[in-house]
A and B are shown apart, each in its own frame.
Chain A
Amino acid sequence: MVGIINYGAGNIYSVLMGVKIFGKEAVVIETPEMVKKVEIIILPGVGAFEDGMRNLKERSISEAIVEEIERGKPFLGICLGFQLLFPRSEEGNSPGFNILKGKVKKFEFKKKEFRIPHMGWNKVKFIKEEKLFEKIPDETFFYFAHSYYPVPEDENIIAGITDYGVKFSSVVRKDNIVGVQFHPEKSGNYGLTFFKNFLEGKWLL
């Protein structure tokens, strides 16, 4: 069973539908008990780093998530759910999960050509061979909506990059952990293919 963590606002219904479309059993979860019970964890995310972390703490599920990730449970972090894996963000003072080393930076541009938020469809360049990318062409457009971007310290975990004035890590994979800055649930058919690949788990082998 796939658990989609609800920690406040935002559209998690599309994530739920995107998972269920493949016949996978999926539930929206908000307790540490359920985090432990499910076989796969998805941490979606729209909103702010501080609010997100506070909501997770208030629901006492942040510790459970970290524990389960460390025990090897497959994990997908989407957008803010990806950024929360890092120790800190320029978006606020709350510490993140500190599971991936690095930081989360704010887009800063002098030219108006690059508007903030980075909003819309942009290409993901695959820089590593990953089963997660099966049946998805290199440089496929995915949907993004964010003002901050992750900068992992360990470059070996970067699987996909996207160029928006700065080249940033739009997909990382480390052991059982997958983080994507785009929204698979809003990226049309290729987004759904990404979900399918993630759920099938060949990338774990």
Chain B
Amino acid sequence: MVAVRIIPCLDVKEGNVVKGIHFENLRFAGDPVEHAQFYSNEGADELVFLDISATIEGRKTMIDVVRKVAEVVFIPLTVGGGIRSIQDIENLLKAGADKVSINTAAVKNPSLIKEGAKKFGSQCIVVAIDGKKISENKWEVYIESGKTPTGIDVVEWSKKMEDYGAGEILLTSIDMDGTQEGYDVELTRKVAESVNIPVIASGGAGKLEHLLEVIKNGKASAVLLASILHFRKLTISTIKKFLKEKGVIVRI
């Protein structure tokens, strides 16, 4: 059986990791290669780089970042943020990314997902969905970094993206993100039960039990983690050890 994946997510701005790894008295400099190597050595199953650059130059820098990371880190690498065209996807894959994560552009131009999956294969197209609860059992898709509501239902959207050829869904709960109070397990399960492709849960992890809950009850195939890892509140090895003890298959 395939192992549940633990995936650190790093924000990159104009070529530098922001809000990166912090030890008590030591802060890593913003070098993406250093961060990627650290997590790869610690046992990360994949890495996600989220480009939050505000400029065109910043976006171009991301290509170099990917290339430098791919030269020394040999685990799967996903890049998200600002991807709008087939050319954007191709540039990143050529530089050494394995997958791209597409959020806003998927809503604005769903054919990008269809074309991307056809040209590069479903396995490299991740559709990122930011969902916000609007009523009992109902979640709405938000775009533009969670700022703009779309009126689209998250579950329906997930199914549509699977039909269009997405290979994975990266699902973030806007309500829980940053709270460290646990995942929106209900949302994760609803989506995971509606599609056959893997679902990566994101937003809300604060302790080990949260991870177990979203994997067991939420049916997540992977979990995406950011500040909880960067601030060393949890480490990948502690997480994996805990999950293994609880009967979850992990790669150790």
Q: Which residues of chain A have a CB within 8 Å of any CB of chain B?
A: 9-11, 13-14, 17-18, 46-48, 51, 112, 115-122, 141, 143-147, 163-164, 183, 185-189, 191-192
| 23 sampled A-B residue pairs with Cβ under 8 A | A9-B90, A11-B93, A11-B96, A11-B97, A13-B67, A17-B72, A47-B119, A47-B120, A48-B118, A117-B122, A119-B198, A119-B221, A120-B5, A122-B2, A141-B3, A141-B251, A145-B76, A147-B123, A164-B1, A185-B74, A186-B74, A191-B74, A192-B74
Among residues of B, the one whose C-beta sits closest to the C-beta of A17 is B71
Q: Is the CB–CB distance between B123 and A146 below 8 Å?
A: yes
Contact call A13/B98, Cβ cutoff below 8 A: no
A192 CB to nearest chain B CB (Å): 6
CA distance A101 to B19 in the complex (A): 53
Closest-CB distance, A81 to chain B (whole angstroms): 13
**B121 touching A10 by the CB < 8 A rule?**
yes
The stretch among B10-18, B177-185, B189-197, B204-212 that forms the contact with chain A is B189-197
In the assembled complex, B40 has its CB within 8 A of some CB on chain A: yes
* 9 more CB-based (< 8 A) A-B contacts, given A10-B121, A17-B96: A9-B90, A116-B196, A117-B123, A117-B197, A121-B3, A141-B3, A185-B74, A186-B75, A188-B74
| Cα–Cα distance between A141 and B4 once the two chains are bound (Å) | 12
* Cα-based distance from A155 to B2 in the complex (angstroms): 24
Closest CB-CB distance, A56 to chain B, in whole Å?
Answer: 16
- Chain B residues contacting A120 (CB-CB under 8 Å) are 2-5, 45, 198, 221-222
- How does the 8 Å CB contact mask read for B142-154 relative to A, with 1 for contact and 0 for none? 0000000000000
Give B103 Cβ to nearest chain A Cβ, in Å: 19
Contact with A along B68-102 (1 / 0, CB 8 A): 00111011100000000000001001111110000
Q: B3 contacts which chain A residues (CB < 8 A)? A: 120-122, 141
